[in-house]
Amino acid sequence: MMKWVLIFLSLVVFGDNFMSDSPFYNDYAQNEDVVKTKSGLLYKVLKKGSGSVNPTESQVVTVHYEGKLTDGTVFDSSFTRGVPAKFGVSQVIPGWVEGLQLMSEGDEYEFVIPSNLAYGQNGIPNVIPPNSILIFKVNLIEIQ
């Protein structure tokens, strides 16, 4: 299980493929409560916490999360393991780096991350296909 966390946290070579022609991405972006950033990250606030400070790239956060492919396949989940993950904000894929900095302690967001902000054209063999859009439910527990 820790293998998935290490894979998730490792930085890889990112592809240039932006899935703007993806029906899933475009349909999700049309939802009224979804925000699209300049980079193409889509996010939705599922629950607002009591925190008022956003983490910076130099900080460490503790989160619970679940990662899925657009077909609903769960490829990683700290919820399932029952143990939250702790890592530096700058140690994750670009979509997470951007999304985490929008959150405060106690917030729960859903991120839809285009492949160019995730694992790009390489994917992760036998886990995440190349050029995959990823969906993450993220609960920010603590900022350190």
Q: Name the one residue in this structure whose structure tokens are 């990683």.
A: 76
Catalytic residue flag (residue 75): yes
Spatial CA neighbour of 102 closest among 60, 56, 58, 65: 56
Residue of 25, 43, 65, 111 marked active site: 65
Residue of 43, 109, 111, 119 marked active site: 119
Catalytic residue flag (residue 43): no
Reading the block at residue 88, the tokens are 């530096």
How many other C-beta atoms are found inside a 10 Å radius of the C-beta of residue 93? 22
Residue of 25, 28, 43, 76 marked active site: 76
Catalytic residue flag (residue 76): yes
Residue of 25, 28, 43, 93 marked active site: 93
Catalytic residue flag (residue 136): yes
Residue of 14, 75, 79, 87 marked active site: 75
Report whether 117 contacts 41 (CB < 8 A): yes
Active site residue ranges: 65, 75-76, 93, 119, 136
